[in-house]
Each structure stands twice: as structure tokens, then as C-alpha cells.
Amino acid sequence: MENKKIRVGIIGLGGWAKYGHIPVLQALKHDYEIVAVASRKKETAEQYASEFNIAHAFDDEQALIAHPDVDMVIITAPAPEHYRLAKSVIEAGKDVYSEWPLTTKTPDSEELLALAETKGIEHLVGLQRRLGPSARYFNDLIKQGYIGKIRAAHMTVSVDAFPDTMPGRYDWAFINENFSHVLSVYAAHFGIELFQAIGFPKKLTAIMETQFPFFTIAETGQQVPNTNPNEIMVIGTLENGGLFSIQIEGGQKHKTGLQIDISGTEGVLRIMNPKAFENKDDNTVQGMVGDEASFSELPVPESYHYLPVRHLDASTQDMAYLYDAFAKDKRYGTKEASNFNDAVKQHHFIDQIVQSSKNFNKL
């Protein structure tokens, strides 16, 4: 079967586009070709086009969406723009990638999913962590019964993101309704990695707090009231049996990164990383089973590193495996890549946390 390249256009040229998307897509040149970029500033688009040898540069996103050379549009603009842009792409009849969060409101994400399904549009969402080599290996070990039947899972995520002092260019993230905070970002990115291995929650109880009452704008010292959560704790039961707990902490300068422990009837698995984002190295996987009294490292087999992206940071490699899964989905009709269905599930998970915390605070 002939492999036709997917010709992509990118809307939104921030740091993640340059650090993540462009290097990955150019490394996957057998399946993808970047043909257009768009930014509100024409000079920025032209700079990217020149630096990365991209044919078309726009300061009009609709011109990129409508361009006949573009098969798929990648949206890396800020979250409040996702709904409008993704809807335009779907209505234009083109495949669409949206960064997470898909939109700022669950009903809007549900609408986009329904619209894409109705029009037969392929859709992809930036929930890539579950497809990285260590995450897939960890998941396979559990599915193969390495630790037996799951008893409990515990995940902690500690990051320096969303601190109490931030540059003014991120002032849009100060607004709770823009859905760009510790809960919305990290509960989804790491939640999907955890739940693919252990199954989704059946019931949960949560509490979250806003421990920084103000954001301070770094350049001016101006203080802006903060209603975004930066400390979240969740406990609950799993659909497949067992219990789980999650702690997510933002604005932590003494960040401890990621750690997941999953215990079963036959042993324990651990996955950890000293960083939660911009990881130079992939997660470390450890196990302890049978009569073992301490953890042993379980190196990720080379077979899980099948793409030519080992020169890139691990966080970027995760993105490569997401795009690779999407290309195979297009070619073979599979559904391995994270898509709008996964996004809606994460929206519902976060909604449960928010509602449970509200109920807890009424007690």
C-alpha cells in the first residue's frame, strides 16, 4: 500500500511548536510534511518558514485552513482558541490536531467530537504521554500480569509550572475559565498515562485548594487575584477493582516530578521521573515481585524505541509516538492515537474532581 504523506499546517508558533511538533514531524518525514505555518505576527510565521524550510507562512489562520496543500491542521494556539479553530478545521473537511485541553468547556469538546464524527474527520489530541516507550512498556507489564491482580495505585506529580509569579505574556492563564492550570493540564496528561494501565475510576472523592491567593506579574509586580487550583488530591475506586490516589502539586520550586506505584497480588511496579515536562530522559521503570525485597530497574526494551527520534528529548519523543500512531490509524483504520474521545473522557474526569471538591467544601 502506497504511503501518502500527510501535509500539515501549524497554527500557533509558541515554544512547544518549536521544541515539540516541528522536530518530530520533520523526523517522521516518511509520513509527514509541514507545508504551512500561521502566526498572528507575519514576521514570526516567515521566520519559522525560513528556519525550517516550510513553503507557506500566514498571519491569517483561515488562509492556512483553506489552503489546498494542507491535509491536516495542527492547533498549538492558547487553549481559549482551540474550540473556534478546531471547529473551523472540521467544517473545512480537514483532519485536525488540537493541543490539550481540547477546549475550555466539556460541552464544547463534546460538540467538536460529535461534529468530527458526523463529518468523518480524523481527530487527534495532544495527550501523548501514554504512548511514550516507558508508558507503553509499563502498561504491557501490567496487562501481562507482572504484578498479578491490581490492588492499589498511587501517583504524585510535582511541578514548578503555574507558580505565584509569572510573566505577563501568560496572563490569559490567570483566568480560571480559560482552563489552563495545574488541574486541567497535569490531571489529564498524567491521568491518561495512569488509567490506560489500571482502568478508569469508578468512584472518586477529591479536594483542591488555591494556596497562592494572587498571581504576581513578573515585569510589573502587579498582583492579580488567583482562583486556579494548585494543590489537588483525589482518592477513589477503579472500574477493574482496587483503589487509587493522586496528588498533583503546582508552583513547587522543589519539584519532585512524577512517581507512580502500582501494587498487585504478585508484586509492585514503579515508574518515575525527576521532571514532569521537558524531560531529557524517559521515565525509569522498576519492579519488585515474588520473594524480592527491593526494587530492580526494568530497562525499557529496544523494541519500544522503534522511531528515529532518540536524538530528541523524551518529552518530544512521546509526541513522535503519538504522530506515528495517528499515521498508522490513517493507513490501517486502527484507533491507537489519543483522539477527541480521550479528550472528552479527561474532561469528565476533571469535572468529577471539581464537583467533588465543591461538595467537600460544603461539609
User: What is the CATH number for 59?
Assistant: 3.40.50.720
Peptide bond into 225 cis (omega under 30): no
Number of structural domains found in the chain: 2
Q: Are residues 329 and 293 in the same domain?
A: no
Average pLDDT over residues 190-198: 95
Q: Are residues 70 and 180 in the same domain?
A: no
Average pLDDT over residues 221-250: 96
Question: Which pLDDT score is estimated for 278?
Answer: 81
* Residue 195 CA: distances (Å) to CA of 137, 260, 279, 350, 358: 14, 11, 21, 13, 24
Q: Whole domain around residue 181: which residue ranges?
A: 144-300
Q: Are residues 177 and 236 in the same domain?
A: yes
Please indicate, yes or no, if residue 136 is contained in any of the structural domains.
no
Question: Which pLDDT score is estimated for 3?
Answer: 66
What pLDDT band is residue 279 in, cutting at 50, 70 and 90? confident
Q: Are residues 154 and 275 in the same domain?
A: yes
Please indicate, yes or no, if residue 346 is contained in any of the structural domains.
no
Please indicate, yes or no, if residue 139 is contained in any of the structural domains.
no
Q: Are residues 78 and 212 in the same domain?
A: no
Please indicate, yes or no, if residue 104 is contained in any of the structural domains.
yes
**Final residue of a domain: which of 285, 300, 315?**
300
Q: Are residues 120 and 220 in the same domain?
A: no
Q: Are residues 184 and 294 in the same domain?
A: yes
Encode pLDDT of 74-126 as tens digits.
999 999 999 999 999 999 999 999 999 999 999 999 999 999 999 999 999 99
Encode pLDDT of 304-361 as tens digits.
999 999 999 999 999 999 999 999 999 999 999 999 999 999 999 999 999 999 998 8
Encode pLDDT of 22-48 as tens digits.
999 999 999 999 999 999 999 999 999
pTM, to two decimals: 0.96
Please indicate, yes or no, if residue 357 is contained in any of the structural domains.
no
Q: Are residues 229 and 282 in the same domain?
A: yes
In three-state form (DSSP H/G/I as H, E/B as E, the rest C), the secondary structure along the chain is: CCCCCEEEEEECCCHHHHHHHHHHHHHCCCCEEEEEEECCCHHHHHHHHHHCCCCEEECCHHHHHHCCCCCEEEECCCHHHHHHHHHHHHHCCCEEEECCCCCCCHHHHHHHHHHHHHHCCCEEECCCHHHCHHHHHHHHHHHCCCCCCEEEEEEEEECCCCCCEECHHHHHHHCHHHCCCHHHHHHHHHHHHHHHHHCCEEEEEEEEECCCCEEEECCCCCEEECCCCCEEEEEEEECCCCEEEEEEECCCCCCCEEEEEEEECCEEEEEEECCCCCCCCCCEEEEEECCCCCCEECCCCHHHCCCCCCCCCHHHHHHHHHHHHHHHHHHHCCCCCCCHHHHHHHHHHHHHHHHHHHHHHHC
**Final residue of a domain: which of 300, 319, 349?**
300
Please indicate, yes or no, if residue 326 is contained in any of the structural domains.
yes
**Final residue of a domain: which of 243, 270, 300?**
300
Q: Are residues 47 and 63 in the same domain?
A: yes
Average pLDDT over residues 229-237: 97
Q: Are residues 231 and 308 in the same domain?
A: no
Question: Which pLDDT score is estimated for 240?
Answer: 87
Question: Which pLDDT score is estimated for 255?
Answer: 85
The strand order across the sheet containing 223-225 reads 165-166, 214-217, 223-225
**Which CATH number goes with the domain that contains 178?**
3.30.360.10
Q: Is the pLDDT score of 363 beyond 80?
A: no
